[in-house]
Amino acid sequence: MRFYEGNRMTPETTAGLPTRFQRRGHPGVSRFTAPVSNCLAAAKEEPAGGIFSRVLTIILVAAVLVAVAATAYIAVVPREGEKFTEFYILGPKGKAADYPTEFMAGTPQTVIIGIGNHEYRDISYTVETFAVESRFDTATNQTIVTSATLIDRFSVTVPHNQTVEQPYTFRIMESDTNRIEFLLFAETPPKEIPESSLIEAGYRNLHLWLRVH
């Protein structure tokens, strides 16, 4: 497609600018080129009777520049995706196996706690662990927490789009404990958590069923 008729720039030829851009393809923003200075110079050379033509030409060139700028912005600024946090537990060897679920009371047991931050901001997480005694209520078909004792509390800061894995060692002192609960908080945790609301208290929660002798 031609842009010039002699030394004149017409609205009809200027309107073809976006088509030229599209046909060139756009693997990168740098591919967008337009003879804007030539277009404006040609518009200024129009005779006095072509004022309307000059104005229309300038408007069309401005529209092309706006379209190019909008495309560049979309290419440079990615859309923000879904926000979420990964929270998981691995065995002492770094695999989803060999969890310490049966042991003697008072002996040290180790797992690896993993936290993956995909919240589009740096977050200082807090982890709380509880030794839980629970029973299954056949009447309601639900597990009821009868006691929960705070074992530990610690914080870890995870930058956006990064994952932190760190070993965690705990001791269960009571043989009546049949579960260890891991609660993750993205904000400041509450000072007290009712036993009935323990599972729902955290931003994320995990647990291991135990047999303590």
Give residue-wise pLDDT tens across range 107-120.
999 999 999 999 99
Is 84-212 assigned to CATH 3.30.360.10? no
Q: Where in the chain is the domain with CATH 2.60.40.10?
A: 84-212
For the beta carbon of residue 211, count every other beta carbon within 10 angstroms.
Answer: 10
* Whole-angstrom distance, CA of residue 80 vs CA of residue 42: 43
pLDDT at 17: 46
pLDDT at 163: 98
pLDDT band at 191 (very low <50, low <70, confident <90, very high): confident
pLDDT at 180 over 90: yes
Q: Which residue has the higher pLDDT, 72 or 169?
A: 169
Q: Which residue has the higher pLDDT, 15 or 123?
A: 123
The per-residue pLDDT of the chain, averaged, comes to 81
For the beta carbon of residue 85, count every other beta carbon within 10 angstroms.
Answer: 16
For residue 112, give the nearest of 81, 145, 89, 132 by alpha carbon. Answer: 89
C-beta separation of 52 from 60 below 8 A:
no
For the beta carbon of residue 95, count every other beta carbon within 10 angstroms.
Answer: 10
